[in-house]
Amino acid sequence: MSAYLMNTYKRLPVAFVRGEGAWVWDESGKRYLDALAGIAVNGLGHAHPRLVAAIADQAAKIIHTSNIYRVLEQEQLGEKLAQLSGMDNAFFNCSGAEANESAIKLARLYGHQRGIELPTIVVMDRSWHGRTIATLSATGNRKAQAGFEPLLGGFARVPFDDLDAVNRVAENNANVVAVLVEPVQGEGGIQIPEQRYLAHLRELCDRKEWLLMLDEVQSGMGRTGKWFAYQHTRVQPDVLTLAKGLANGMPIGACIARGAAAQVFGPGNHGTTFGGGALICRTALTTLAIIEDEGLRERAQTLGERMLAAFRQELSGIDGVREIRGFGLMFGIELDRPCNELVKSALEAGLLINVTYDNIVRLLPPLIISDEQADAIVSILSPLIRDFIKR
Ligand SMILES: *Cc1c(COP(=O)(O)O)cnc(C)c1O
């Protein structure tokens, strides 16, 4: 541990120095199977040769200019994402929090343009939108918020997957301009709403002229078997935010809008120094091309079903295992007790996993894993969970 770094992370005592596909190696040469992908970032795994070549090529041409000039790679990425998402235009920055920050600013400006002086955004319990003051205020996690008061106003919080609660806000609060929601809650423990949830929110937003803003920072980029999780439904959002898997580890965020929402910002309303640079956008474009050319959405779907079935076979019915949830390559195995120590025992066994909300084992493996690697994740982790519960 370094005394020269602020103490913001309780880090595991391991550093990875090299990776290849779903494998990473630590300083001592020990190999690990990566079932977390840098928290849904490295969808293509590590050191994908085509991505490495594109990054090297672009770095040798031009890395960054400024958004005061045209950036051709940014224009191409905006167009490509519009095609894939059915949206109209994009603003690029450098992280998920910034993408959501952009969405929050967009919704507020949209409200003011419609004469609403104190625009309010409906947000959810257990949600995660980032750690800037605005996104932390939107986030439904008291632990993360504690100590950073005063938080920002302008948010109305309701339980996730509870339409009655949103309807009550609609009846009582004339300042609402938007709903911000994850189609699948990631940090909240892979919480999957009932099937018609998004469609109902869409109907309500249409009726009230609210913006439906979907945070797909974690669930986007092919992870659930479609480019975006909402594409499993017939719902189209007004605003979509992306980040994690979009450039496979290069810092990027995107706030993507459609219809009226796409016309809200004008010159001078919003900006960024680094966002949308040539190198990052070329990396994202190449990431999208690889996901497409290697059929990785289909793989995410097939492997997701295979792993979910295998986990259910290994773990369901066991006392202490409350629920096993999966949506493509997002898995949450909820236990009845805190299980953070499983991260360490998995690490010892050569497997990278995560625990969220203290009692939910979360897996977000890269989309490029092989059948054998997928099976290995299940066969390494399941006995660890069984042994942990027995102790
Ligand atoms: C990780 C995450 C964020 C925050 O992204 P950062 O890049 O860490 O700022 C926002 N929303 C969701 C759904 C996330 O999973």
Output the tens digit of pLDDT for each of the chain's 391 residues.
Answer: 799 999 999 999 999 999 999 999 999 999 999 999 999 999 999 999 999 999 999 999 999 999 999 999 999 999 999 999 999 999 999 999 999 999 999 999 999 999 999 999 999 999 999 999 999 999 999 999 999 999 999 999 999 999 999 999 999 999 999 999 999 999 999 999 999 999 999 999 999 999 999 999 999 999 999 999 999 999 999 999 999 999 999 999 999 999 999 999 999 999 999 999 999 999 999 999 999 999 999 999 999 999 999 999 999 999 999 999 999 999 999 999 999 999 999 999 999 999 999 999 999 999 999 999 999 999 999 999 999 999 9
Q: How many angstroms does the Cα of residue 102 sit away from the middle of ligand 1?
A: 13
Q: Please tell me if the CB atom of residue 186 comes closer than 6 angstroms to any atom of ligand 1.
A: yes
215 bridge partner residues: 241
Distance of CA 235 to the CA centre of its chain: 19
SS3 250: strand
| Residue 366: per-residue pLDDT | 98
Q: Please tell me if the CB atom of residue 183 comes closer than 6 angstroms to any atom of ligand 1.
A: no
| Residue 22: per-residue pLDDT | 98
Length of the chain measured in residues: 391
Half-sphere exposure of 173 (CA within 13 A, CB side): 23
CA dihedral 350, 365, 342, 2 (to 10 degrees): 70
248 bridge partner residues: 250
Q: Give, for ligand 1, the residue of 217, 274, 327, 354 to mutate: max count of ligand atoms closer than 8 Å to Cβ.
A: 217
| Residue 152: per-residue pLDDT | 98
Q: Report the largest interatomic distance among the alpha carbons of the chain, rounded to a whole angstrom.
A: 62
One-letter amino acid for residue 250 of the chain: M
| Residue 1: per-residue pLDDT | 79
Q: Please tell me if the CB atom of residue 326 comes closer than 6 angstroms to any atom of ligand 1.
A: no
| Residue 347: per-residue pLDDT | 98
- Residue of 201, 178, 180 lying closest to 112 (CA atoms): 178
- Residue of 37, 21, 32 lying closest to 363 (CA atoms): 37
What is the C-alpha to C-alpha distance for residues 365 and 242, in angstroms, rounded to an integer? 18
Q: Please tell me if the CB atom of residue 128 comes closer than 6 angstroms to any atom of ligand 1.
A: yes
CA dihedral 45, 276, 254, 59 (to 10 degrees): 0
| Residue 124: per-residue pLDDT | 98
- Both structure tokens of 333: 């195995």
What is the C-alpha to C-alpha distance for residues 8 and 93, in angstroms, rounded to an integer? 23
